[in-house]
Amino acid sequence: MRWDRLFEDLEGQLAARARLELDSEVAERTRGERARVTLGERIHGAGEGELVVHLRGGSSVRGGLRDVGDQWFLLEDAVGRQQLVLGPSVLGIEGLGRPRDDTRARRFAVGTALREVSRDRRAVVVLDVDGGRRHGTIDAVGADFLDLAEHPQDTPRRAEHVRTVTAIPFVALAAVVST
């Protein structure tokens, strides 16, 4: 009779040890999988919910995620303004859900996305990494900079309205917001 209880106790200890080892292995694999997820993939997996993005310089933008690329992502706010956010300027993001398994960002760089904005010829607000704001229209996009024709926000880009054309390096950009 005592032998039966001893064997049952030993079996219980072995089963508990096996459960602990399995739990430990699952936790280690989960940590390993999470370690391979990039911020771009995490942003891409955010889904349709609203994000609040805190930028260098004290600015914030908010909106629903519309697109994600290499070192950039596009938000659209409640009134339809699109906001191209540059990854290196991001200090924090609120509203990211759990990452999805199908997270793949577009491979084209921010210059390609800015060229699309430039073709649109819409007025934009450029937020820089120090908190500055410039209003104008993107005239041209180089390999690592854009030319912004600065004009009042409420006027179209016409020669008589342009105050100056400023070359702004991509590293100085926090976000480009359509108006």
The 3-state DSSP class for residue 78 equals: coil
The residue among 124, 121, 174, 116 whose CA lies nearest residue 153 is 124
Position 105 confidence tier, pLDDT thresholds 50, 70, 90:
low
Task: Output the six-digit token pair for 137.
Answer: 């229209």
Burial class (CB in 10 A: 0-12, 13-18, 19+), 104: exposed
Q: What is the pLDDT of residues 50-78, one digit of tens each?
A: 999 999 999 999 999 998 888 899 999 99
In CATH, what number does 39-178 get? 2.30.30.600
Residue 23 pLDDT > 90: no
Q: What is the pLDDT of residues 141-164, one digit of tens each?
A: 999 999 999 999 889 899 999 999
Task: Output the six-digit token pair for 177.
Answer: 């917001």
Q: How many helices (H) and strands (E) does the chain have?
A: 3, 10
